Structure formats: structure tokens, C-alpha cells
Structure 1
């Protein structure tokens, strides 16, 4: 009985062992099928290469190369030579040899080209790793088709290299990262490499006024994008060039600045043309101003003082230099329309009648009519016609409100009122600067732009400005 019991026990153990083995085999088969399913569904080409022969290839590899999986599997030793581009063949085979021999200097990730079955040349990026496969070392290679990315890179590289404008990237510390040929040529260097290696401190070596670089970087920190920032640079030979910079800030995920990148345009010719025009206009403007003041001796110096004050207010408010200059020119001839007003009315020592005052008020429109067809670099005629407007619409000649008035016009209006009240007039003695400041403070935000009024008061009360 005991013998039979042992036989039954042994038989049961054998059956259990066989069952476990079968289950393990089934699980392994399921696992193998699962991973094969994953690799076959992947958009990344995958191969196993062992002893120079391809042991496994997925569907994505077939799609990339244009050969069927069966064709690829039937390739002989080093079969990949069939698709490797001749120019890249030596490098790829060198890396494959290093990997097979265990060379530590092997490159695991690189790009190369293949010639697909259709004859199309494709760019490939591959990743490889050596591991055991069926008990022996093998290369597991994954590859993706990066042809479209390479084409896009080539397109933008052509734009970068052939653009007429200078293109650059620079560090916050003041070194160039990349520069195109146009920028190198613009600044008198033979190549991008020369300017990158020689210019190690942009603020000191390029900027004629290094503080402009500091102002520029402050703007970029605040705004992330700055357009048409005009600055004077030194060229390699020490001569100067005017450039307009349009630049953006590139930050990391923490918001820290990585670098600046932008475009530089040579505006030297434009700047010199404007300067010549300004010089030519300067004499004309002074002559016009003198004509007005000759007819109205009591306001002699009024336009000059208004111009000086308007320029100081605009500077205090942070207006760009070009706009400040335009305002200065407008202010120095803002009363040109008085040429159309009878001289005796301008110098009348008593109070004007309503009819006379209404005639005086036409000078703003008359000034516009005189200047409107002259091609100034700034909206001079508009500033002239608007200098008696008030932000609540109570001014003349058109009753415009604040939003419709140029900022320069609002500045000119305040400067005109302050100077007029502080100075002598034919019909009254000078009121002095304090009553003038009280007037604009009392009516700021009503008749006068509040920011302009505040800037004007700061100049006189805190910064020592005086009418001279």
C-alpha cells in the first residue's frame, strides 16, 4: 500500500511540475508577444544586430527604409551597408566596430543618412546599446526619421546665413554665442568666428556709450522684447556705425535669462540723412522763430523758453531722444501762426476784446496751415495745432480730448502755460513761477495731463529747473 501511495505522490508532483513549466512557457510566450506587439506598434525603428547579422527588425524600420521586414532579415553580414549613404558609411561602420569590441569611446547617439529603397535620401538619428540576446552580446538599435527636421534646420540655416540683417545670440554677461555673416561683415570682421572670439565684452568693445548696453538689458528684463533700439557701435577698425536692434529674451523654465537673440540693421545712412535734414531745418526753424518774435517783441524768447521747458519735461518723463528732439523743434515755432495776426493786436497793452481774442485764437490753425506741407521727420504741424487744446475738450481750435492728443502736444500745452504765466505780457506784469505751478497742479487731470503736470512740478521744485 505504501508503494502505491509513493507512486501516486510522485506522479502528482511530476504533473504539478509539468503544469508549472507549461504555465511558465505560456507566460513567457505572452510576454514575448506583448513586447513584440509594443515594438511593432512603435514609430521608432528597432533592430537587434548580432554578429553582423540582423536578428530582429520591427515594422517602423521597414517603413523608414522602404524595404520589407523579410528583405531586411535576409540581408547578409553587415547588410546595412546596402542602405548607408556612402559619405556616412565609414563613420557608422567605425562606431559599430567599436561597439562590438567594447571600445569605451564609442558614440551611442548620432545622426547619419540612408538611401531608402525608393532612392530617397533620409536623415536618421540612432541610439544603440549592447546587451545579451539569446545568451550572446547584441546591439539593440533604435532609430527615428529626422528628415523633416533636418530640412527645416537647413531652411533656417540658409535664412540665417544669407539674411541681409545681422542675426545674433548673446549672453547677459556680454559675449556672443552665435553671429551670422551679415553681422560680422556689418561690424568689419571677416567671419562670425572672428567676432565671437575677439569680442568678449560687448558693452565695452562694441557700444560707443557702454551705459546704453545697461539700459538695453534693463528694458529686456522688463519687456522680454524690445524693438528698434537705436545705438551706436564701434566697428573693428574703430569707426562707428548706427544700428537698430530688435531683441528678445530667452528664459529657462525658472524664468532665468539664458541669452538674448535678435536682429541688427545698419541705419547709419538714415541717421546721417536725418542729421543733415535737422541741420538744414535748424536754420530755417530759427529764422521762422525770429520772424514771429520780431513782430511780437513782448514775447521775444517765449518760444525758446517753452522749447527748453518742453524738452526738459519730455526727458523727465523718459521719452526717447528722437521724440524729445521733435518736440523741441515744434515748440520753438509753435506760435508761427501769429504771423497772420495784426502786429498791433499782439502788442496791445490793454485787455483784448472778444473779437480780438477770437482772432488771436486762430494762430494755432494758421500755424498748422503754414507747416502742414513741410516734410518734417516728426508731426510738427499737429503739435502746433494742438498746443492750445485741453484734455477735457475745452481748448481750441478743435476741442479735442486727452486720448486724441499727442503726448508731445500735451507737454507743449503745459510748458506754454507755465512760461506765459511766469513772464511779462503787454497787458499784465509777470505772475511768477509759483502761480504758474499752482495753476497746472490745480487743473491736472482736468485741463492738463496729470503725468505731464507732475513732471513739470518736479523739475522746478525738486530738481532746480529755472526759466532763463
Structure 2
């Protein structure tokens, strides 16, 4: 029987190695084809936040060949402050191993315009579970953002129409709600609130007295003291406002904020006698703005009380009626404006 000669071992290993190389090369090509056909910017970064791989959509956004992007960082393509925020997000993912999902931000394009995007960043881990880089996916939602802005403009225009109706019936309430909105906006900005939350607060301020449209004008503008029954009718504007707004698709807390704007920290407000921990931060701001503007302004039933008496009311009732942090912000802004109403400058 003849011996069958087997192939040399090194030739088998070489063939296996070549097969493995071809398989890896094919998988890399397939991955790149997949990435290049996704209409989102996709990018991989190493543990130093350097770009190590991008898809075609990402490169086309900068009008650069891919090889001119690899090895660089966001600081090479974006304004410094914008790149710094991106760097901080990447570093957060690297250090914590936690993803950032669906962050909405505005980015400056090479042509000098801004677009609105949503960005997700996830950690890339090795076999031992150590984070060695990040994968980012950024989607352009500018068209959606523009639609939402158009819808928002429609809402705001509707509010202006409503303001005009209120002005026709009760010019005092109209001016009051507008000024309360300005005060609330300034306070929220000073507290560092983000813009969408500030916008919701402004809308709450614009609508907080909408229920007064159902109160007889002779009661709203009555000179002198109201009877107990009349005063109760005025108080009911809070419930009326809530009932009018609750059925519609306003931001989630807007009707509740308005419902609470006459509540006080000590539970002696109305209509529900809520204590501090049950009152929304937005309602705490609105309560102070409402009192501040009302006291300093002329009303049908009395002259303006002036800044000194108004500040005394706030200072003497900090912690019992009014939130200390908010009052401190108000006092600071009034002091910086030479003890004059800062909102009149807006």
C-alpha cells in the first residue's frame, strides 16, 4: 500500500491565514457598505476622542475625503465651544461606560448655517469589558425642527389673539399677564433653566389669568373692597383657567402650573392648600411674579403700592409663602437695577 503524502503543515496554516484575511476584508467591506448607505452621520472615536472611522454621509457633510478626517478631532471641524461640548460628551461615555441617547443640539455647518440634530453616543468595549472608544450616530432633524417651530409660532400667535380679547375686556389683566411673563422669563434665565422649560413657563404666565374672562367685568374692575362672594368668584379664576386648558395638548405641566400659582409654601394658599413639596418650581416662580407685578402696579381698586412695600412683602414672607432661592434672585436683579422694576427694561 502506497503512502499518501499530506500537504506541508505550513502550507495549510498559510491557506487558513489567507482565508481569514479574505473573510475579515469582506466583513470590513460589508460593514463599510452598510455604514455608507445609512443616511445619518456615523463615526467611531478612540479613547483619546480621535476619529478613527466615519461613513460617507459624515464625510460628505464636511465635503472632505475620508482620509482627511481620520486621526482628527471635533476641534478641527467645529467652533471651539461646540467642539468642547462634544468632547465632554465623548469623555463622559468613555469614563462612565453609559450611553448618551437622543441628545438634541444645534451644529454649525461649513456653509455658515446651523442645523438641528439628534445625537446618540455609545461606548465601544473590548473583550475584557474595558471602554476603548465611542460610536456616534447623528441624525439631521432640521426639517422636523422647522415644523415644530412653525407650530410653536402658531400657538404663540393664538396666544396673542387671546391676549387681545382679554385686553378688550380687561386691559389691566392683559398688561399684567404680559409683564408677569417677562418677569418669569428673567428669573428662569437667572436660575439657569434650559430654553424649552423657560418657554413653557412663559406660556403659563401668559395664560395664568385666562379664567378671568368668565368673571363679570364689574367685579374685576370694581373700585373698593370686594364682598366675600365677589372675592370667592375672583378666586375661582384659577379653577376656571385649569378647566379651560386641561383638555388640550399643552406642555404637560402648564395647566398644573397655572392651577398652583396662588398656592403658598405654608399651605395657606388656594384652591387646594398645597404645601411646599407639592408645589411645582414653575408655580413657585409664577406666584412671586404675580405678587411682584400686582403690588407694584396700579389696579382699579387701589393705587400702586410701590417698590418698598412690595419688597417688604417678599422679605417678610420668605420660607412661609415664597421660595427663598427665587426671592433672592428677584432681590438681586432689582438691586442691580437701582431698586427699579427690571422687567420694564425688557
State the TM-score bracket (shorter-chain normalisation): 0.7 to 0.9
Structure of higher RCO (CA pairs closer than 8 Å, 6+ residues apart): 2
Q: How does 1:231-242 map to 2 (within 5 A)?
A: 231-242=105-116
TM-score (norm 1): 0.58
1:467 equivalent in structure 2: 343
Counterpart-to-counterpart distance in 2, 1:453 and 1:258: 48
Q: How does 1:19-418 map to 2 (within 5 A)?
A: 78-82=8-12, 84-85=14-15, 88=18, 112=20, 165-169=40-44, 176-184=51-59, 187=61, 189=63, 193=66, 196=69, 202=74, 205-206=77-78, 211-214=81-84, 228-247=102-121, 262-377=136-251, 379-418=253-292
TM-score (norm 2): 0.76
Say if 1:168 and 1:176, in contact at 8 Å, map to a contact too.
yes
Report Cα offsets for 1:324-354 as digits up to 9, x if no partner: 1121122122211100111111111112222
Give the drift of 1:358: 1.3
Counterpart-to-counterpart distance in 1, 2:112 and 2:101: 26
Q: Which of the residues 450, 454, 460 maps onto 2:324? A: 450
RMSD after superposition: 4.1
Counterpart-to-counterpart distance in 2, 1:222 and 1:442: 44
Give the drift of 1:172: 10
Give the drift of 1:241: 1.7
Counterpart-to-counterpart distance in 2, 1:323 and 1:361: 27
Query: Structure 1 residues 411, 357: CA separation in 2 closer, same or farther (over 3 Å shift)?
Result: same
5+ residue gaps, structure 1? 1-73, 90-111, 115-120, 124-150, 251-256
Report Cα offsets for 1:17-67 as digits up to 9, x if no partner: xxxxxxxxxxxxxxxxxxxxxxxxxxxxxxxxxxxxxxxxxxxxxxxxxxx
Say if 1:165 and 1:182, in contact at 8 Å, map to a contact too.
yes
Say if 1:85 and 1:113, in contact at 8 Å, map to a contact too.
no
- Pick the structure with more strand per residue: 1
Say if 1:205 and 1:234, in contact at 8 Å, map to a contact too.
no
Give the drift of 1:181: 4.3
More moved, 260-269 vs 305-314:
260-269
Give the drift of 1:113: 6.5
2:128 equivalent in structure 1: none
Query: Structure 1 residues 323, 87: CA separation in 2 closer, same or farther (over 3 Å shift)?
Result: same
Counterpart-to-counterpart distance in 1, 2:74 and 2:33: 26
Say if 2:242 and 2:258, in contact at 8 Å, map to a contact too.
yes
The secondary structure found in structure 2 opposite 1:244 is strand
The secondary structure found in structure 2 opposite 1:431 is coil
2:127 equivalent in structure 1: none
5+ residue gaps, structure 2? 125-130
Counterpart-to-counterpart distance in 1, 2:89 and 2:17: 48
More moved, 269-278 vs 404-413:
404-413
Query: Structure 1 residues 227, 391: CA separation in 2 closer, same or farther (over 3 Å shift)?
Result: farther
Say if 1:295 and 1:339, in contact at 8 Å, map to a contact too.
yes
